Amino acid sequence: MDVDEDIIVREMNEEDAEKLDILLEKPTGIQSIYKSYLEETTSGRCQYIVIYYKGQMAGYAKIDWKSNYEDFEEEGIPEVKAIQIFDDFRNKGLGHCLMNTIEEQVKKRSNYCAVGVGLAEPYESAQRLLAERGYEPDGKGVFYIDPEFVHNELEVDDYQALMMIKKLNN
């Protein structure tokens, strides 16, 4: 657990998963996606990390130890997914705090850390954060998360990502 005065960064637990469902207004009766991620964490397929600021949950991220992106998967490079700092907590350096912890965890298993970042406007903060931290495009162009959604016309949406990678210093 990383604790810096008002900031706490740690692995997600069940209570955190329940808070995420409430914060993200998950409808009652629908299976919790975050509880399913907690199950993935327990099985070792991934690791979820949460960040708290002054006692309030401020964001979360997921590390997939086995990437679904073929080039990273072949090289055994973990992929960071679902980086999220909630709007009320932005511009406080929390994204960097979260990424510091993520990179420390990834360093235990790999010399590289990878991430796919969306191309649409809502991902601008994540794009800037990753560039500031030294992540570079993998050189393969745009990755279509779901190729069924590739349109004949150029359209930027949530189904496109730029895959990025960073060599971690050991």
In the chain, where the domains are located: 2-167
Per-residue pLDDT, averaged over 138-151, amounts to 65
CATH assignment of 2-167? 3.40.630.30
The larger pLDDT score, comparing residue 60 to residue 82, is at 60
Q: Per-residue pLDDT tens for 80-127?
A: 988 899 999 999 999 999 999 999 999 999 999 999 998 888 888 999
The larger pLDDT score, comparing residue 28 to residue 87, is at 87
| Region for 59 from its dihedrals, namely left if φ exceeds 0, alpha if ψ lies in -120 to 50, beta otherwise | left
Does pTM surpass 0.75? yes
19 contact partners, CB below 8 Å, separation of at least 6: 57
Instruction: Take residue 47 and report the two structure tokens written for it.
Output: 């690791």
- HSE (side-chain half, CA atoms, 13 Å) at 80: 30
Q: Position 110: which residue type?
A: S
